Amino acid sequence: MKSAYSLFCLYILLTAPVFGQSTGIPLSPQAQKKQPVGYADPMIGTSESRWMLNPGASMPFGMVQLSPDNQSTDWKAGYEYTIGSISGFSHIHSWTMAGLSVMPTTGMLNPKIYPPDAPSTTGSTAGHRSRINKNTEKASPGYYSADLINYGIKAELTSTTRGGFFKFTFPESQEAHVMFNLLFPAEYPFSVLDAKITRVSDTEIEGYSKQQSGNFMKLGGFNDYIVHFVARFSKPFKHFGGWKGKAISKDIKQIEGSDDIGAYVDFETKDGEVILMQTGISYVSIEQARLNLQQEMDPFKWNFEHAHQSARNVWNNLLSKISVDGGTEVNKKKFYTNLYRSYCARSILSDVNGKYVDVCENVRQLANPNSPVFGCDAFWNTFWNLNQLWTLVNPDYANQWVNSLLEMYKYGGWLPRGPAGMEYSGIMEGSHEISLIVSAYQKGIRNFDVNKAYEAMMHQQTTNGIKHECSGFAGNKDIQTYMQLGYIPYPGRVSNTLEYAYDDWCVAQFAKALGKTDDYKTYIKRAGYYKNMFDPQTKYMRPKDKEGKWLEKFDPINTGGYTEGNAWQYTFFVPHDVNGIVKLIGKDDFSARLVDGFQKSAKLNFNGVGDKPELVYINHGNQPNMQAAYLFNYAGKPWLTQYWVREIMNKFYGDNPYNGWPGDEDEGQMGSWFTMSAMGLFETDGGAASKPIYEIGSPLFPKVTIKLDGSYYSGKTFTIEAKKVSNINRYIQSAILNGKPLNKPWLYHADIVNGGKLILMMGPKPNMAWGSKPGDTPPSMSTVVD
């Protein structure tokens, strides 16, 4: 068998670009002056994207994510860049949640929403869908605009955290309308169980829509929530009407019902006349929606540009936490777009004054309204992306997320794996929200109830999950089987054992930090249960029954028992003890297997084609092996990490609507991985160790400066300089940390947050002497002395 290095050298010779080739055009002096917000492009990746990834106007973690929709209900529904029409602009684009679609039209009123392939000429056959001019469509953080061809209307959108601001420029018309659809296509279908829309005055309407999402929740019920809203106009409307199904009513006070229901207001407009509309929403009540509207919109009065600029400034301040110098125009665009995506899909669920609806549909009041509750998809493997970005760059956000998790535990009795709409979604496996809490604590982010957090973790890791009395499924369904046998037997999932073992390691680290020695010993032992799934004959994590007999007819790619993955991928899933799995497989075999997988997967740009993540080796488009490129650091071959990290950044991540993230971007997970990797940093263990570390990869830019938080960290800056870096010069020749040589491919979190400088000398060939000695590998459970 050829060595891993021989295979690697052969691969480079076959695939290396010609000398001088780069991934973009060098920046001009004018381009270097562009603000970070100017590089973030919400249009990137909006073809074949999820409901949560759209080009709309939103704020960081906005409750309102105001965006165009143009598809029918289906997986990855919402906005599709290649479709040249729009059926409405809806307010909510959270995972499994949707609400309040708005559409301006002229001419005959038609509430119907037809599929995008229906005829789209003016008239009843198209419903109210309109073609748009793709040449004039624009999107930037906090702003979206489109010209609606069918109606001659220019629609512009901006937003606050809980409100939408619309600017409609109408043609001359005796029949100008603004329609409010409560039932419309979304990625997860939903029902309108009860709704009411009321005319408050000739400039304001209010209403609510009680909704129930489709049966998405694993082992548990539905996501029930009520969208309350208030909308006000800059000009009095002539008429208020509504519809229920095909029945349209005009000049009414209110309309109420269920299913297909909505309302509209009518205007007479002059050519070029602008009508402004502001909205506020709440999951609590109409009064709270009005309060959100007033608190967030009143400061702007009716000045759309001021609201737009305010949103843009908020985004620019956030994106400016990290500044990059040099590099290419393409990579800067990719960097700030990925950083933007790390903050715009998950959403706030509480109101401006801290009121929110808990898991049992009771209204609660937060002690600190400035630390909101959030909703999102799972925390499944966010320790390889979002957790490390938030805790390093925005520790206050990380602290808010921890408090939100504990707020749900306070009233629901369990930590949530994915708190969609403050419900227990039961989505994915493991309880990796534990990793976020522990990582925050280990990094000094501790403005939360530490004892309550520990109590919650202990409950999560010792009690079988249940169908929750109020909603969904909470907890780990088979944790006690794991405790009794030391693994999950077939036909249960091999991957559950691996995920539980990682969470146990996180609990052990927390127990150790709190001086709970007996608990530490218990959980550090359980953290080693991953070895119970390792078959020394095949050297893979393999299913076995409760008697300990290995499953016959085993194939590392095709055998089932692994969540959205396979045995090949999950054998490397030991985030807390990579040194341990390297020893089990053998260092040479470990590296050779990885190199072979990377070479085969590069042909697919490291993505599982056709949403089949279990049929590939390195599938960066899904979570189970996003750490793969960094594992070479643990095998004494950091140059392979440097090579393959750069290959993923070049091939998997794009810079246009058609090729942003060919897999599932998953609410900022792909974006934050790129952001961390572009800086040259990564945490395989999720940062939950007693002394958190970062592994070093291959930075994209000559200089990256992180502006450190002053409340949790030093308030200074940490700079990473990559001398002579380019797409060719991707290999580290030597390193200096704060004036002293660094000979290991990792550094401590404290080294960064105390401020300082890391200088990396880059070159076109690997320096196999740097970071490759036996004592240079990053620490993990097997190599840390207690």
Question: What integer pLDDT is reported at residue 62 of this predicted model?
Answer: 97
pLDDT at 769: 97
| Alpha-helical segments (H) within 67-210 | none
Identify the residue with better confidence: 74 or 772. 772
Q: What is the pLDDT of residues 699-730, one digit of tens each?
A: 999 999 999 999 999 999 999 999 999 999 99
| Higher-confidence position of 64 and 73 | 64
CB-CB contact of 641 with 648 (8 Å): no
Q: Which residue has the higher pLDDT, 114 or 689?
A: 689
Hey, how many other C-beta atoms are within 10 angstroms of the C-beta on 305? Answer: 11
Q: What is the amino acid identity at position 745?
A: P
Q: What is the mean pLDDT of residues 579-602?
A: 97
The arithmetic mean of pLDDT across residues 255-272, rounded, is 98
What is residue 670's predicted lDDT score, i.e. its pLDDT?
Answer: 94
Q: With a cut of 60, say whether residue 476 has pLDDT above it.
A: yes
Within 8 A by CB and 6+ apart from 29, the residues are none
Dig out the tokens for 264 from the structure: 């509209």
Query: Where residue 749 falls among pLDDT bands split at 50, 70, 90?
Result: very high
Range picked from 5-19, 515-529, 599-613 for highest mean pLDDT = 515-529
Let me know the angle formed at the C-alpha of 555 by 549 and 559, rounded to the nearest 5 degrees.
80
CA distance 208 to 287: 11
pLDDT given for residue 227 in this prediction: 98
Whether 433 has a pLDDT exceeding 60, the answer reads yes
Across the range 430-441, mean pLDDT stands at 97
How many Å apart are CA 350 and CA 348, to the nearest integer? 6
Q: Are strands 363-365 and 473-474 parallel, antiparallel or unpaired?
A: unpaired
Say yes or no to pLDDT of 171 above 50: yes
The amino acid that residue 779 corresponds to is P
The pLDDT assigned to 425 comes to 87
pLDDT digits (tens, 9 = 90+) for 233-253: 999 999 999 999 999 999 999
* DSSP code for 401: H
Contacts of 484-490 with CB under 8 Å at 24 or more apart are: 485/532, 485/546, 486/526, 486/529, 486/532, 487/529, 487/532, 487/533, 487/544, 489/544, 489/545, 489/546, 490/543, 490/544, 490/545, 490/551, 490/561
> What's the pLDDT at 214?
67
Task: Report the chain's C-alpha Rg in angstroms.
Answer: 26
- How far is the first Cα of the chain from the last one, in angstroms, to the nearest whole number? 39
- φ, ψ at 387 (rounded to 5°): -55, -50
Over 80: is that where the pLDDT of 731 sits? yes
What is residue 786's predicted lDDT score, i.e. its pLDDT? 62
Quick: pLDDT tens for 107-154: 999 998 888 876 554 444 568 999 999 999 999 999 999 999 999 999
Give yes or no for residue 14 having a pLDDT over 70: no
Contact 479, 457 (CB under 8 A): no
Mean pLDDT taken over the chain: 93
Provide CB contacts within 8 A for 461, sequence distance 6+. Answer: 431, 434, 476, 479, 500, 503, 504, 507, 523
Convert the pLDDT of each residue in 549-577 to its tens digit: 999 999 999 999 999 999 999 999 999 99
More confident residue, 664 or 200: 200
pTM value is: 0.94
pLDDT in tens, 294-345: 999 999 999 999 999 999 999 999 999 999 999 999 999 999 999 999 999 9
